[in-house]
Amino acid sequence: MTVRVRYAPSPTGHLHIGGVRTALFNYLFAKRHGGDFILRVEDTDLDRNVPGAEHETLEGFRWLGLSWQEGPDIGGPHAPYRCTERLSLYEEALQKLLHTGAAYPCFCTEEELAAEREQAAAVGQMPRYSGKCRGLSAERQQELIAQGRKPSYRLAVPQGIQLSFDDHIRGHVEFLSDDLGDFVIYKSNGMPTYNFQVVIDDAAMQITHVIRGEEHLSNTPRQLLVYRALQLTPPVFAHLPQVLNTDRKKLSKRDPNVQPVDAYRYEGYLPAAIVNFLALLGWSPGGEEEILSLQSLEEKFSLERVNRSGAVFDVDKLRWMAAQYIKASSREELLPLVEKQLHEKRWPLPQGKDLDWLWAVVELVREGAASARQVIEAAAGFFQTSVDYPESIRMALQETTAKQVVERFAEKFAEIPCWTPEVGKEALKTLSKELSLKGKPLFMPIRMAVTGSEHGPDLQQTLTLLPREWVLQRLAAARQV
């Protein structure tokens, strides 16, 4: 049997990081078993569809390095791969159920259904449809249609049926059909509901394993009933643990600490870092290794090592991991991302500086940066002629010793036409002897004068890479604070 899995996003907004985790686990499972990963766009919620959302989703997956064997952009043997283009299949399945009596039209209004729910709540019962349209005669149905009533269609749920399946992650799961009621499978606007459409598509596309979020667990018994009514064989189900925030509550799409995938791409994160981090949300390869390439993930992944408990989206862990990738990245990989960020900021290279200079700056400041944007933010002083001195820096520069250090260093720097780390080291040795200072009292005033900060990368490398005239201007400005 060839493993066939799918990820089926709805184009109703940005590609959310939790959805990417689900897609990634499907992709890795398919790769691990030499199977097929399919993309299907579930766009039947017409009121919520967002223009451009499908394109953003596909581009996001391409950026992450995930490929698919069938999908709306490349087609495949089970095309089309947008649900709104498959309506004839759903209509055909509906007619089959109506013909066998497994489904029926429902003419209840929203007001009537709301009253039923309120009545159930008043007596402490779970709301479920009463089934009052189930016994309508054909004549009465025609009368209601003649009155302009547009029916939805419900599955006639058999009573006393135990619905069970072996979840690949959660183990044996059971439901009772009595708890479900007759649920809608086709809406009055001519669109199938999710629990109906997904069964038709998964069966038609020969999906062998449905790997999805835990929130879909409650949908499974309804889908099993549709499989049963249509005499179709269900796939293997595997429900992934929820992604939680640091308070161990379900991760919200509106969580300010978690961005859509496109935002990480725009900020200049390396896609391999995002993939690595998401793969470890609820899955463990075993051992202590945490930095894993996509190829390594493909080789190691298994559903057996997926946890049942929720996985915490630790933003600090993501930034740490992303920083490891930035630190290890090559010039070819990182420099284009840095150039893009500079373009966004409208920061040109200083006059006379080239890409070799830019890469030297990147190597100097990239330690601890999680993204290309953080790299250039750390390097901001290399692209701006002057620096701002915070009040604390201004006060420190006004101290007698600091003023003396800055003044004498400015003179020495002006005397040396080509500053290098080696030349600078000797110059500061001389200055140390002249002023009888060493360590922090000597170096800190120079750093504050040149960078406007008490902290930063290697001072000698910074002085070497900064345009000479900028250093002189900053030293002059520091003497005037």
In sign, the C-alpha dihedral spanning 25, 30, 33, 34 is: negative
Which residues sit opposite 240 in a β-bridge? Answer: 213
In sign, the C-alpha dihedral spanning 278, 281, 287, 288 is: positive
Dihedral through CA 343, CA 346, CA 347, CA 350, nearest 10? 100
Total residue count of the chain as it appears in this document: 481
Measured CA to CA, the distance from residue 141 to residue 145 in angstroms comes to 6
Maximum Cα interatomic distance, the chain, rounded to a whole number of Å: 109
State which H helix or E strand residue 429 sits in. helix 421-435
Measured CA to CA, the distance from residue 216 to residue 195 in angstroms comes to 10
Q: Which of 150, 249, 253, 327 is catalytic?
A: 253
Amino acid (one-letter) located at 419: W
Contact 406, 465 (CB under 8 A): no
Candidates 86, 58, 228; CA nearest to 157 is 228
For residue 80, whether the previous peptide bond is cis, meaning omega lies within 30 degrees of 0, is: yes
Measured CA to CA, the distance from residue 273 to residue 320 in angstroms comes to 10
For residue 467, whether the previous peptide bond is cis, meaning omega lies within 30 degrees of 0, is: no
Contact 91, 80 (CB under 8 A): no
Within 207-344, strands assigned E span: 209-213, 236-240, 243-244, 311-312
Based on the residue annotation, tell me whether 440 is a catalytic residue of this protein.
no
Measured CA to CA, the distance from residue 343 to residue 138 in angstroms comes to 68
Measured CA to CA, the distance from residue 67 to residue 58 in angstroms comes to 10
Measured CA to CA, the distance from residue 391 to residue 452 in angstroms comes to 10
CA distances from 281 to 245, 277, 298, 304 (A): 12, 7, 15, 14
Measured CA to CA, the distance from residue 339 to residue 336 in angstroms comes to 5
In the DSSP assignment, the letter for residue 71 is: B
Candidates 166, 223, 207; CA nearest to 30 is 207
Candidates 473, 416, 403, 412; CA nearest to 445 is 403
Which residues sit opposite 174 in a β-bridge? Answer: 164
Q: Active-site residues: which are they?
A: 253
